[in-house]
Amino acid sequence: MDDDALLAEQMAYYRAGAAEYDRPYAEYEGLQRLLAVVDDLPIAGDVLELACGTGQWTALLAARAHSVTAVDAATEVLALARARIASPTVEFLEADLFEWQPPRRYDTVFFAFWLSHVPPARLPDFWNTVAAALAPGGKAIFIDDGPAAAAYEEVLTNQPAPAALRRLDDGSQYRIVKVFHDAQTLTDGLTALGWSVRIRPMAGNFIGIAEPPATPGQEAATTTAS
């Protein structure tokens, strides 16, 4: 089954629900604790933030970075991010992350709660894009939901990719991709693609720090061809 329709619905959800995007950050202490962890992460230099949303993480990254390039595909959430953060060191870009290729390299690539929205079949290409975006010695840093978070989602079956159903205040409902990565399985998968990775659980979430293969894409191409 093709996952394009599911991804289109996921995009529609984030565009339609932009005004509700920040609510979990105000309501859940666990998310507030995660935001505070940024100061303990090796974020430095020029930073690329993927799926920046309304900029909840962007300002924290900018406080530690030389510059931040923040990318998202949803016009409506980017408008909120631009309104939240007016800094000469932060640039916002609208782009589909499944098609966009970074035009330069960065010291840090950061993404929070995005990896779980990438269909498993697209993960090797996604990690190749991340690797290509990293300067020598650069790191990918990512935060997301672990398996325990599935208890708080309406998980769907028989979908093109692991998915959940989300509802907005107006009663509309949308399917989204939602993969609840297990830390060990994710570590094993990244290692097989040639990455060096450390993932630590934090409550129902996880925080990962990864360094790409010496030759970006080579190991991934070998793995997917086998």
Note the pLDDT tens digit of each residue in 82-105.
999 989 999 999 999 999 999 999
pTM equals 0.92
User: Per residue in 161-184, is it b (16+ CB within 10 Å) or e — as a string?
Assistant: bbbbebeeeeeeebbbbbbbbebe
Question: 181 with 144: CB under 8 angstroms?
Answer: yes
Kindly state the helix (H) or strand (E) to which residue 68 belongs, with its residue range. strand 67-72
Listing from the earlier edge strand, what are the strands of the sheet with 106-112? 90-94, 67-72, 46-50, 106-112, 134-145, 205-211, 196-202
pLDDT tens column, 42-87: 999 999 999 999 999 999 999 999 999 999 999 999 999 999 998 9
